[in-house]
Amino acid sequence: MSTSTPAAPAAPAAPVRRNLPRLYLLEAKYEFLKLWRLRAYSVSTLVFPLMFYVIFGSTFGRFSTQGIRVATYLLASYTAVGVINAAVFAFGSGVAAERGQGWMMLKRVSPMPVSAYFAAKTAMTMLFSALVLVILTVAAFVLQGVHVPVGSWLELLGVMVAGVIPFAVMGLMFGYGVGPNSAAAVLNLVNLPMAFASGLYIPIEQMPAFIQHIAPYLPAYHFAQLALAAIHARPLGSAVHHLIALAVFTAIFAVVAVRAYRRDEGRTYG
């Protein structure tokens, strides 16, 4: 607030007594219910990856790539598809829609801590990521006899849960950048080719050479390679290299997201 004249004496700063843990828990609970009941969301996050695994796993599962079975490779890569969908749609079209309809404005006027909204979204997207990994792990074991040692599986879980962050920021960038009406369409347009060219649908080594050259410029490629490293695939580049690449992408997305948010502020609010 700009105060060109002295402000009125501040109200006695009585501490605001609320049950904050309950507030954060409810925010998370309703974020989960909201997403879970949204067919478009739960299907693209949980059902599509499973469907693709069943189809492509049974077709190519017995071959090998990067030193592991394709069935194992696809467990990692289709989980990554689910994680990326969960993150970009919750943070991209989800936030864009909630801003567009004025829901964010209502929340901003309320005494809700802004952190509760983003913490809930992040936590629930991570929960969806863990769910898709569990579903695909079971499918891979049942359909393809893929057995992942517990240590590797936990490492894979860590990659999947942390992987929410770069793609959440990417979602925000598109959500703030293109606005509520076109966010979902643009994200679909970007998301599928990105995942395909990063070797998420078909192993990267089976892709045409020019795509293998493009892949390192895509965040999903580095994410997938980190996931594959967790399950002992022959690495393409070092893990540190992929981590740095993802960090750089995240930083660029964040800068663009903040700029888009500022440009939009005062028009859409929130």
Partner 1 sequence: MTIPTRSADRGSPAGSAPSGHGGAIAELRNVRKHYGEVQALRGVDLQVHAGEVLALLGPNGAGKTTTVGLLLGLLKPTSGAVTLFGGDPESTAAKVRVGAMLQISGVPATLTPREHLDLFASYYPAPLPVARALELGSLTEVADRPYGKLSGGQKQRLHFALALVGNPDLLFLDEPTTGMDVTARRGFWEQVRAFIGSGRTVVLTTHYMEEADALADRIVVIDHGAIIAQGTPAQIKSRTAGRRIRCVTALDPAFIRDLPGVVSVEAGGAALEILAQAAEPVVLELLRRDPGLHDLEVGGAGLEDAFLALTGRSEP
Residue 99 within binding range of partner 1, rule CB under 8 A? no
Residue 142 within binding range of partner 1, rule CB under 8 A? no
Strands (E), 2-131: 64-65, 68-69
Comparison of 9 and 208: residue with beta carbon closer to partner 1: 9
Q: From the CB of 263, what's the least distance to partner 1, in Å?
A: 13
Query: Any idea what DSSP says for residue 10?
Result: P
Residue 208 within binding range of partner 1, rule CB under 8 A? no
Backbone angles phi, psi at 169, to 5 degrees: -65, -40
Q: From the CB of 16, what's the least distance to partner 1, in Å?
A: 5
- What's the Cα-to-Cα distance from 184 to each of 31, 108, 209, rounded to whole Å? 18, 23, 30
Q: From the CB of 54, what's the least distance to partner 1, in Å?
A: 27
Residue whose C-alpha is closest to residue 137's, from 72, 232, 69: 72
| E strand or H helix at 69 | strand 68-69
Cβ pair 257, 172 in contact under 8 A = yes
Residue 100 within binding range of partner 1, rule CB under 8 A? yes
Residue 112 within binding range of partner 1, rule CB under 8 A? yes
Residue whose C-alpha is closest to residue 163's, from 99, 91, 222, 95: 222
Residue 8 within binding range of partner 1, rule CB under 8 A? yes
Residue 55 within binding range of partner 1, rule CB under 8 A? no
Residue 105 within binding range of partner 1, rule CB under 8 A? yes
Q: On the CB side of 110, how many CA atoms lie within 13 Å of its CA?
A: 12
Type of residue found at 191: N
Residues 6+ apart with CB under 8 A from 214: 197
Binders of partner 1 among 229-268, rule CB under 8 A?
A: 266
Residue 30 within binding range of partner 1, rule CB under 8 A? yes
Residue 123 within binding range of partner 1, rule CB under 8 A? no
Partner residues linked to 69 by β-bridges = 64
Residue 43 within binding range of partner 1, rule CB under 8 A? no
Partner residues linked to 68 by β-bridges = 65
Candidate ranges 32-40, 61-69, 146-154, 227-235; the one touching partner 1 (CB under 8 A): 32-40
Residue 103 within binding range of partner 1, rule CB under 8 A? yes
List residues binding partner 1 (CB under 8 A): 1-5, 7-11, 13-14, 16-19, 22-23, 26-27, 30, 33-34, 37-38, 98, 100-103, 105-106, 108-113, 266, 269
